[in-house]
Amino acid sequence: MVAPNYELIAQDGLETSLLEVSMGPHHPSTHGVFRMDVKLDGETVVDLKPVFGYLHRNHEKLAENMSYLANMPFTDRLDYFNSMTNNWAYALAAEGLVEIEVPERAEYLRVIMAELTRLVNHVSLVGFFVNDLGALGTPLMYAFREREKILDLFEEASGARMMCNYFRFGGLRCDVPAGWLDRAREVVDQFPEFLDEYEKLLCENEIILSRTQGIGTLSRELAINAGITGPMLRASGVAYDLRKVDAYGIYDRFQFRVPYGEVGDCYDRFMVRMLEMRESVQILRQALDGIPEGEIMGKAPRVFKPKPAEVYGRVEGPKGELGFYLIADGTPKPYRYRVRPPSLINLTVLRDMCLGQKIADAVVILGSIDIVLGEVDR
């Protein structure tokens, strides 16, 4: 989309000036403390500058003063919707520094927790996206009804609904209680009905179709070059999913498809997430069928003091590629601890997608990128 031609405005004889609006940090639709300075010509966006850093807690420097295990609860708070996935990414990176074997049952449970987290995230995103479009709360509440069931499962397994702190180096903190697997199966079995109902509610809705199709198109080449990952990349037509490419954990044992879109607009991003939820249900069914009995923790050293090494461990988080870059130097604390935040890098193309669109579309585009400020700012 091209910015409008200023000469045309002058030729009309009307003297107009650009309106600069700060869609400020306190805004119900910006998904956190996020600011966009937009320059408007009428209603068309001429320039857009994202400003963040309002939630910067310097997590990376704090982590250099704490032992490896003590960093685990802080990783929960990075992307606060998906605490289990953050835990897994960090555990994967740290296990790459030391040779620990994770037992079978722990691997299966890790996959189950990660896919439940993916369901939680996509369901919240879809609800908030439609909320931003103006469906004031009803689809959001239907989505949150399902999310509550999954959060109850997390509470039974780990003790807390959101800040789970459940993964450890070499396995999990504790086993799930008796009957948890049956309750999880009940939740998973009734999820597709909810998805069917949700699709009937939303996916043929003319308002949603006209407001999201053709808006915020991201081309394939720009998406790859700008380092976009996750559902946003797949909506632009690149079938790159770390669960298939890296096959970390035991993902190579499960059969699932990777949905990808064609056009790369907001509607594609929305539909890719709906389809990914169905695939997650498939993975969950297979995992719940195949989970063996056994140990939960592998043989981990008592004091985690890895030899000097570097590792970059990454997982397919619900928002994109979440990576941890750890440099160990032989002490119990990491020398350098770096989080590769998918939400921050997905924001690289916000300006490109919004130029030339209307201001109301800027909110829709931001909602479809799926950011959470805890991760953008760390």
Partner 1 sequence: MSELSHEPLLKEFPDACWDEAAGAVIVPEGRARVMAEWLLMQGVDYCSNVTGVDYLEAEVKEKITNDAGEEETVTRTEPGRIDVVYHLYSMRDQTGPLVLKQRTGRENAQAESLTPVWRSCELQEREVFDLFGVDFKGHPDQRRILMWDEYEEHPMRKDYTEPFDYEWEPTPHDEILEKHKKGKVIV
Partner 2 sequence: MSFLGGGIFSGMAVTLRNFVGSYFDPDRLTTNDYSWRPEGQLPQSAGEYPREEGEQLSDTTTVTNYSRNFPMLLHDGGDNPMDAIRCVACQICERECPPQCIYIEKDYDENGKFIKRPAVFDIDISVCMGCQICVEVCPFDSIVMNSQFELSTPNRFDGLLLHRGDLLKSNDYYHRIHPEEAKARDQRMAVEKAAKEAKKKAAAEAAKKKAEEKARAEAEAKAQEETGDKEEEAQ
- Which residues here bind partner 1, judged by CB under 8 A? 52-53, 56, 58, 60-61, 65-67, 70, 222, 224-228, 238, 240, 245-247, 308, 310, 312, 314, 321, 323, 325, 327, 332, 335-336, 338, 340, 344-345, 347-349, 377
Sole binder of partner 2 in the list 89, 112, 202, 322 (CB under 8 A): 202
The least CB distance from residue 378 to partner 1, in Å, is 8
Contact 348, 231 (CB under 8 A): no
Contact 126, 274 (CB under 8 A): yes
CA 353, 358, 364: angle at the middle one, nearest 5? 60
Exposure string over 270-305, b if 16+ CB within 10 A, otherwise e: bbbbbbbbbbbbbbbbbbbeebeeeebbbebeeebb
Q: Which stretch binds partner 2 (CB under 8 A): 96-104, 144-152, 239-247, 342-350?
A: 144-152
The least CB distance from residue 206 to partner 2, in Å, is 5
Q: Which stretch binds partner 2 (CB under 8 A): 157-165, 224-232, 304-312, 338-346?
A: 157-165
| Side chain identity, residue 303 | V
* CA dihedral of 210, 214, 215, 216, whole degrees rounded to 10: 160
Sole binder of partner 2 in the list 20, 43, 64, 197 (CB under 8 A): 197
- Which residue do the tokens 């789970």 mark? 164
The least CB distance from residue 216 to partner 1, in Å, is 17
Helix (H, G, I), strand (E, B) or coil at 196: helix
First to last CA, the chain: 32
Report the partner that residue 227 touches, choosing among partner 2, partner 1, none (CB closer than 5 to 8 A by kind): partner 1
Q: Is residue 163 near partner 2 by the rule CB under 8 A?
A: yes
Reading phi first (left if > 0) and then psi (alpha if -120 to 50, else beta), residue 201 is in alpha
Count of other CB atoms within 10 angstroms of residue 51: 13
What is the gyration radius of the CA atoms in the chain, in angstroms? 22
Sole binder of partner 2 in the list 44, 67, 286, 348 (CB under 8 A): 67
Q: Is residue 183 near partner 2 by the rule CB under 8 A?
A: yes
The least CB distance from residue 219 to partner 1, in Å, is 12
Q: Is residue 128 near partner 2 by the rule CB under 8 A?
A: no
Q: Which stretch binds partner 2 (CB under 8 A): 69-77, 252-260, 267-275, 346-354?
A: 69-77
Q: Is residue 298 near partner 2 by the rule CB under 8 A?
A: no
CA dist., res. 282 & res. 286, Å (int): 6
Sole binder of partner 2 in the list 141, 245, 247, 309 (CB under 8 A): 141
Q: In the chain, how long is the greatest CA-to-CA distance?
A: 79
The least CB distance from residue 48 to partner 1, in Å, is 13
Residues that bind partner 2 (CB under 8 A): 66-67, 69-74, 138, 141-142, 144-145, 148-149, 152, 155-157, 159-161, 163, 165, 173, 177-179, 183, 190, 197, 200-209
